[in-house]
Structure 1
Amino acid sequence: MLVHPKDEMRQLAARNKSRILFHRAKAVFPDGTTRVTVERDPFPIYIQGGEGAHLLDVDGNRFLDLNNNFTTLIHGHAFAPVCDAVSKLLHSGTCFANPTEHEIALAELLTARIPAMERVRFVNSGTEAVMFAIKAARAFTGRHAIARIEGAYHGAYDWAEVGQNLVPGAEGWEPSAVAAPAYRGAPPSLAEEVHLLRFNDVNGLDERLGASRDRIACIVIDPMPSRAGLMHPEPTFIEALCKIARKYGILIISDEVLNLRQSYAGASARYGLTPDLITAGKIIGGGFPIGAIGGREEVMRVFGADHAKPLLPQGGTFSANPVSMVAGRVAMEAMTQEAFNRLEEMGDRLRSGLKAIIARYDADFSVTGAASLFRIHPKRRAPIEFRDAYQGACEAAVMRGLSSHFLEMGILLPMGAAACLSTAMVDSDIDLILEAFDAFLALEVRS
């Protein structure tokens, strides 16, 4: 879908203050931003504030937010119970070298809800959580290599990054992808220590894991890989993964930094995955920085220092800081089973509505996701693995056009990432999303 030059000029004028701020930012940041995930078309939208399901930018434009800081804000913006609790806490201090009762309260909540979390440690981000989970698996097994799913995102730890940016070759995909470091200058040895698996590929599991079974400490898996396509895990794949991992003494790490929002007990419980370790973040911080590593008590003992130096020392100046602990506890307490049920009902209605619109236009689109998450693909068949979800240049251009169209209708739809709902949303918000998608496909058909 092409944007008319007059429409483009009008869009730029409506975001003039954002344009000016981006000009300032380029003088102090390497590319004008501090996160590679910040979208720009041609510059970022700078935010003045948020309330509930909506954002207000510096130019006064109001948007329905389907990003929610990459699925973090499950209650939307400025959730009153969190704001009140944090405001009260600030008068007694923000961080200490000593522990506080607040970290115990959040840990008690998480271990009571999530079957895989018998014990837990807090860190400051999802990246840290995955990093320390991998280290814990190494410390427990004495092995150094890992396995992970093609195309999935697990943060910025060197080993976790390998295989997240695969692209097909000139003749298409290789049957088994060759692992490669994610950035220039990374040690080439990383490729020898990371083994790539294809999501939902039952037949390839035993072959790939068995060949290096004495070297692999863990399998890192997002039960519904978000950046890789937000695909449903096949029950046979989950069953085979658990069986083969147990056979070879390989630990399973369920990365639920994003997908913990799939149910009251998380994503692994939803899909029948039985991990040894689980990572969490985003929604458990109530809008503040957080990460958590949980798991079987036996495995989590690698962090313990009851009698001697721990097998795996883990610290962090802001780990378990009171602000994140209090905000997280309050946010999670509000996520009752009823709250999860309501989000799922809205998500089901939205995904069903999107699919019905696609069918009505007989369009080359599909929808994936579950619970409060969804993703639209410029593919006639819904992907079942990363290779299916990979977008070529033409498909990526279509999705940029979709995001631009949504923006014109007052909706922030993330490009190349999972979109999400929040408890602050109402039925009319779902109606607006469906209306925007219907209008987009109508324009596609005419063009």
Structure 2
Amino acid sequence: MLHTRDISGGRPLSRARSQYFFNRSRKIFPSGVTRVTVERRPVPLYVARGEGAYLLDVDGNRYLDLNNNFTTLIHGHGFLPVAEAVADLLHRGTCFSNPTEHEISLAELLVDRIPAIEQVRFVNSGTEAVMFAIKAARAFTGRSGIIRVEGAYHGAYDWAEAGQASAPSVWGDENRPAAVAVYRGTPSSVAEDVAVIRFNDSAGLERRMDEIAATTACILIDPMPSRAGLIGPDPDFLKALQASARRHGILVVADEVLNLRQSYHGASDRYRLEPDLIACGKIIGGGFPVGAIGGRSGVMSVFANDKGKPLLPQGGTFSANPVSMVAGRVAMEAMTEEAFDALEKLGDQVRSGLQVAIVRSGASFSVTGAASLFRIHPKKAPPCDFRSGYPTPAESSIGNALCDHFLQRGIMLPNGAAASLSTAMTPYEAEAIVATFADFLSTPAVQEFEASR
């Protein structure tokens, strides 16, 4: 078994330079950061550069990166084909008000690969992609309401957020989860247009659809919601969702901003879901800002302005900028079917290795995920939905200890989010992940956690 100190080199971690930059940042940024998702252990680790599967921070510490900028970097850092293509492009201009051939090439690639995509519009982020997919469903149906899964993350659009950050004190009855707002001051009318269901609850889904079909434009579904547990979909749930939506004239919107990385044809195809619209992002930008809305040409016609004002106007100063388009095309071209298969094999190695370590130790942990994604839960049985996966205070504490253990051994494991692999990784890195976890299961912190259960 690989020694867990091999990744970090066994050096004590210095954070002096990161502390220096954080002290400067606290004077000019709220809380010292520009994204709420930045982790502090106890200060943010400021990155100097990335090299393949690894990050190097400003203090010279080297880490295996299991975050990959929130699953975006499917090839890891500094992927040479993308770097060369972008470098060649920079001196010729990075953004124009006119279209370029580069947007056509990336769009053609997506149309060729993703069965549900017949036409595409590009935007600048996953949040925008989900927002415009919801707006497109509204424009197409003439209805305003949406149905979404409790706890799933869909970006920062008010209607996509409602029900995203639920907690036991506010999430309501399990048969009718509350559309809890993410931030104070959210208009109360937002909750009136959002119905929340539980993942893999077929009966609850059908009941809510029957109740509010006349006012519902779409059901928003992430085929494997990361923040809701990175739990696989029940085939019967997706069948019920598809059938009920068709019966009521409700559009199915698949949020694959994160989960497009699950296969060459995307997550919906993997799980036999046939959405009307798909929101894409992350890996299709090759490390640059991007989002895309794709779907059936009949539904996508709401964006068309051939005969005057479209049903849904959509612009964006940096939408379809050539840098993102070229980087995305090159990155996606490198993700052949063979590349996806190899990455999934690596994911299988990690997930099975983690599970073996759990069985050998008898610890109260479980593993979820698929393809190049995995998540470790401090729970004996894998959760089946957001509520069963919601951590207790003790579970949150041991989860933090798990991340700290990994970090001290040179592996950056996201705190409570989806961990992702990249094509820059090898079986060596997979073995290091498993060995580090097995080492953690033998620590006093885990023994105390087990004794308290």
TMscore range, shorter length: over 0.9
Work out whether 1:292 is the aligned partner of 2:292: yes
What secondary structure does 1:284 align onto? helix
Q: Deviations over 1:326-345 (max 9, x none)?
A: 00000000000000000000
Aligned to 2:110: 110
Q: Amino acid of the residue matched to residue 66 of structure 1?
A: L
Match of 1:5 in 2: none
Instruction: State the distance in 2 between where 1:178 and 1:227 align.
Output: 17
Q: Deviations over 1:399-437 (max 9, x none)?
A: 100000000110000011100000000111011101100
Tell me the residue number matched to 1:38.
38
Aligned-residue offset at 1:199: 0.3
Asked if 1:212 is matched to 2:193, the reply is no
Q: Which residue of 1 aligns with 2:169?
A: 169
Kept after mapping to 2: 8 A contact 1:180/1:190: no
Identity of aligned residues (%): 63
Residue equivalent to 2:7:
none
1:158 maps to what in 2? 158
After TM superposition, list the pairs within 5 Å mapping 1:40-439 onto structure 2.
40-169=40-169, 174-439=174-439
Q: C-alpha distance in 1, partners of 2:394/2:433?
A: 23
**In structure 1, C-alpha distance between the alignment counterparts of 2:298 and 2:233, rounded to whole Å:** 28
1:11: how far off? 10
| Aligned-pair CA distance for 1:13 | 6.7
TM-score by length of 1: 0.96
Q: Against the structure 1 CA distance between its residues 59 and 210, is the aligned structure 2 distance closer, same or farther, given a 3 Å change threshold? A: same
C-alpha separation in 2, matches of 1:12 and 1:37: 26
**Cα distance in structure 1, aligned partners of 2:82 and 2:58:** 24
TM-score (norm 2): 0.95
Letter in 2 for 1:167: A
Which shifted more, 273-282 or 180-189? Answer: 180-189
Contact between 1:145 and 1:216, CA under 8 Å: does it hold in 2?
A: yes
Which SS does the other structure have where 1:391 is aligned? coil
Asked whether the equivalents of residues 152 and 225 of structure 1 are also in contact (C-alpha less than 8 Å), the reply is: yes
Moved more, 168-177 or 336-345: 168-177
CA 1:59–1:221: 2 relative to 1, 3 Å:
same
Instruction: Say which is worse superposed, 12-21 or 156-165, in terms of deviation.
Output: 12-21
Total equivalences in the alignment: 438
Deviations 1:112-161 (A, max 9, x none): 00001100000000000000000000000000010000000000000000
Pair 1:29–1:430, CA change in 2 (3 A): same
- Which amino acid in 1 is paired with 2:378? P
Deviations 1:300-331 (A, max 9, x none): 00000111210000000000000000000000
Q: State the shift of 1:72 in Å.
A: 0.2
Q: Is the contact between residue 180 and residue 188 of structure 1 (CA under 8 Å) also seen in structure 2? A: no
- Structure 1 unpaired stretches of 5+: 1-9
Question: Whole-Å Cα distance in 1 between the matches of residues 422 and 194 of structure 2?
Answer: 35
Query: Which residue of 2 is the match for residue 3 of structure 1?
Result: none
Q: Structure 2 counterpart of 1:288, which letter?
A: F
The Cα of 1:173 is off from its aligned counterpart by 5.7
Q: 2:11 and 2:329 mapped to 1: Cα distance?
A: 40
Q: What CA distance in whole angstroms lies between the structure 2 residues aligned with 1:182 and 1:22?
A: 27
